[in-house]
Amino acid sequence: MNIGDVATRSGLPAKTIRYYEDIGLVRPQREANGYRRFREADLHKLNFLGRARSLGFSIEDCRSLLALYEDADRASGDVKRVAERHLSAIDRKLAELDAMRGTLAHLAEACSGDQKPDCPILLDLASAPEG
Amino acid sequence: MNIGDVATRSGLPAKTIRYYEDIGLVRPQREANGYRRFREADLHKLNFLGRARSLGFSIEDCRSLLALYEDADRASGDVKRVAERHLSAIDRKLAELDAMRGTLAHLAEACSGDQKPDCPILLDLASAPEG
DNA sequence: CTTGACCCTCCAGTTGGTGGAACCCCTATC
DNA sequence: GATAGGGGTTCCACCAACTGGAGGGTCAAG
């Protein structure tokens, strides 16, 4: 398979796949003309990467997960640890966004949104930081 | 005030303040010796920026908000529009993270986490993309 | 033989800063 | 006057995870 084929089959842009090769996540072979040659195993890896990235795992997480994926002897506990670490990162992010949302919604609600220049949003933003 | 003073009073690192000057968000004057000289108005702006950034507004959003802040004649509706656009971006992000969290929690729960090599997390990650 | 769809490499830009090097300035102390 | 420290200055490089584009090679069809 050429890069275009794995691109359509994995759903990843060709650019991204080249980038993944650059940073050592996949190692396709090369044809005589310099074109990358991908095998089924490479496609599996790319699918794996696409799915993991879409779940928000970082590239470095993906590298670990891929190593575990390829290690037939790994303990599933190792994978679970990576997943749970990521899960709590997601929870932190969620809490943070939720707090933002609360403040912002409150401010937007208090704002009349008309032609008058008074605006509680700006008033809040302009208030000094606590501490 | 020198940069160190506004840094402590605004809670922003000096490096960040220099960066904000670089991209034109603040324009402190200069002393004869080349030191930046900040006035109260600059400090207000920096507080504004710190608060807006902590609410997740992008730098470009901040630029708009700052322009509105400094425009005595703005309509509060203009500000509200920026805030509401940002609010829906936050909502999208929240939904996305929540979906991730669901999938991941489900997978982690299904994973025994013991010494056996079978791992539903990896199995899921390895499955082909739909479509 | 030309057209057009692929493919290649390399460079630069994105966002919002952060780290560090190399150097200047100011004040206090010896 | 020398020196030590704690400011300040500039500039360059780096982070994640790509993305866009230039400039050019390759291949199959008409």
pLDDT for residue B131 is more than 60 = no
- Evaluate the CA torsion angle A73, A23, B102, A13 in order and state its sign: negative
Chain A residue numbers with beta carbons less than 8 Å from the beta carbon of B69 are 122, 125-126
Q: For an interface test with A, which of B8, B53, B92, B100 has the most A Cβ atoms less than 10 Å from its Cβ?
A: B100
A34-63 b/e (C-beta count within 10 Å ≥ 16 → b):
eebebeeebbebbbbbbbbbebbbeeebbe
Cβ–Cβ below 8 Å for B94 and A98: yes
Q: How many whole angstroms separate alpha carbon B90 and alpha carbon B87?
A: 5
Domain ranges of chain B: 1-57, 75-131
The per-residue pLDDT for range B60-73, each reduced to its tens digit, is 999 999 998 888 78
**Predicted confidence (pLDDT) per residue in A86-131, tens digit:** 999 999 889 988 988 988 888 888 888 888 888 888 888 877 665 4
Give the pair of three-digit tokens for residue B51.
């608060």
Grouping H, G, I as helix, E, B as strand and the rest as coil, residue A67 is: helix
Please report which confidence band the pLDDT of residue B110 belongs to, taking 50, 70 and 90 as the band edges.
Answer: confident
Contact residues on chain A for B10, CB-CB shorter than 8 A: 129
Its CATH architecture, for the domain A1-58, is Orthogonal Bundle (1.10)
Say if residue B91's pLDDT is above 80: yes
CATH number of B1-57: 1.10.1660.10
Give contacts of B79 with chain A, Cβ < 8 Å.
111, 119, 121-122
Cβ density class B91-124: b for 16+ within 10 Å, e for less: eebbeebeebbebbeebbeebebeeeeebbbbeb
Contact A12, A45 (CB under 8 A): no
Separation of A44 CA and C20 C1' (Å):
42
